Chains A and B, each alone.
Chain A
């Protein structure tokens, strides 16, 4: 049987949790299909991290250790992954669906003329390829995808539990061209503007269903105020310029876990769910009974938010006396 190559990502001097989730997917496939699992670590001064990856589930781990790779670079990474695929004869290459993964993985697939499937949360061995399950239409529908031949797949972070076993294999230096036309300049962190949703006990968030910018102060904010909480929003609201970025809840905004999260007119795209699904109690209000937000909600109301939210604001205000 062939090899499954698992590409690690490092963050703050450690291997990311998501990389061990890739190991779990690879080990699951290898158990049923008899594949060998190999790792790949790319960076500068990453020898020890590679040893750790090799011993914690990735097995034999290939290392591209070069000062030029100190920061992520799409060209260096795509060449290194293609080189590792050639060295291992990998049938399947697993990469996390992170800003790094979605930047590099499709390039690798095109370069190898291999099948590509992204953001999967389940994988099985198939006939001459693999079978995957993922979501489409912003989470509204599921899809079963088959691949033929050599396959590159990206895995949704958090979709499976990280591998916690051990493995043997050691590390091996991999020679790969580290020249690149793309130049890294810097990492910028968005300036804080005082909206810190992570400290709120109650968050009332509005989505595209709120319909217009003026409806946020008119309808959403009053409920947040009545409950002594804060107002949030989903990405489309911020993209449209209705509210500023600090209000955005989701993977590219704030990740929150309040005691009560009320989602009004939010369909529940995965990038929003990642930012709020750890909340203690979730109430979802949406006109569409098939909206994915209802999958993570504790309580759902299939109705127009403009009927429910003002009435709830009045009832909460009355209950406080």
Chain B
């Protein structure tokens, strides 16, 4: 069984977010990046399939040179090989353009199972995974918290609202977008990191995938015109002063609420 995992490298969750000069994205220079949190659970879920049988795990990412680090981490965790789509035009693609790239790779690879995270920590769109499935023509499930694999199908639990879960059975081939908390993500061991250095990373361009004339900024159907720090409006009254002064104001508030 061939399992393809799509992963995105995103700004570190504690990175300082400043708006860039033209106001359309964040300033990416001199900040730390990491594997999107949701995608780490997807990598782990794929490696569990490998641990349980004879699956090959291929990790795929789109982005500039820095993305190599994310792919090496996944290889260090146990993935078998990596595909790095390195092309400025690919970086500029919107969600549908991104899905077209990943769908082309899934078809080329003949992936039996595609795993992704439910969403990315930067764009928060939850857009790409079901799009890949639609473009490849396979079933999909999102918000997956548990998987049970048999020969020709996978039974999954999808997280709904308020503690409810939907159980569905997907025929293979299929795509699953994994929810955070679905498993306990392993760390790359020292041995794993050493072995990862010898594992292949194929670098591809849009031209290699036959997408040079259909994916990129000129083909986007959506554009981000502006990003901004939200105006706080009539938000919180900020308490200031020493710790003792702040605590004393808080105790007064709690007394006013009748809770002390």
Contacts and interface: CB of A to CB of B under 8 A. Distances in A.
Co-complex (A, B): yes
Contacts of B211: none
B139 A259 contact: no
Nearest to A154: B126
A5 to B, nearest CB: 17
A299 B227 contact: no
A319 B224 CA distance: 52
Given A259-B259, A281-B253, A319-B260, A252 B162 contact: yes
On chain B, which size bracket covers the interface?
Answer: 35 or more
A52 interface: no
Contacts of A300: 235-239
B164 A145 contact: no
Nearest to B100: A110
A182 B227 contact: no
A185 B223 contact: no
A140 to B, nearest CB: 6
Contact of B227 (A99, A136, A283): A136
Interface stretch (A40-48, A114-122, A159-167, A213-221): A114-122
Q: Helix, strand, loop or mixed for chain B's interface?
A: mixed
A118 B125 contact: yes
A119 B125 CA distance: 7
Interface in B78-109: 94-96, 99
Of B140, B228, B239, B247, the most chain A CB neighbours within 10 A belong to: B247
B112 to A, nearest CB: 14
B187 to A, nearest CB: 13
A108 to B, nearest CB: 8
Given A140-B17, A303-B243, A294 B236 contact: yes
Given A136-B227, A142-B230, A315-B248, A307 B243 contact: yes
Nearest to A186: B167
A239 B253 contact: no
Contact of B130 (A107, A138, A280): A107
B200 interface: no
A35 interface: no
Contacts of A236: 180
A63 B34 CA distance: 45
Interface string A30-60: 0000000000000000000000000000000
Interface in B189-240: 220-230, 232-233, 235-239
A75 interface: yes
B164 A184 contact: no
A78 B225 contact: no
Interface in A234-290: 235-236, 238-239, 241, 245, 251-255, 259-260, 280-284, 290
Interface in B119-154: 119, 121-135, 139-143
Interface of B: 11, 13, 17, 19, 26, 94-96, 99, 118-119, 121-135, 139-143, 155, 157-171, 180-181, 184, 220-230, 232-233, 235-239, 243-244, 246-248, 250-251, 253-255, 257-260
15 contacts: A99-B159, A103-B141, A118-B124, A136-B124, A138-B121, A138-B124, A144-B225, A145-B224, A190-B164, A227-B259, A235-B181, A259-B257, A292-B230, A294-B236, A300-B239
Given A145-B223, A227-B260, 6 more contacts: A99-B143, A106-B129, A116-B95, A251-B162, A259-B258, A311-B247
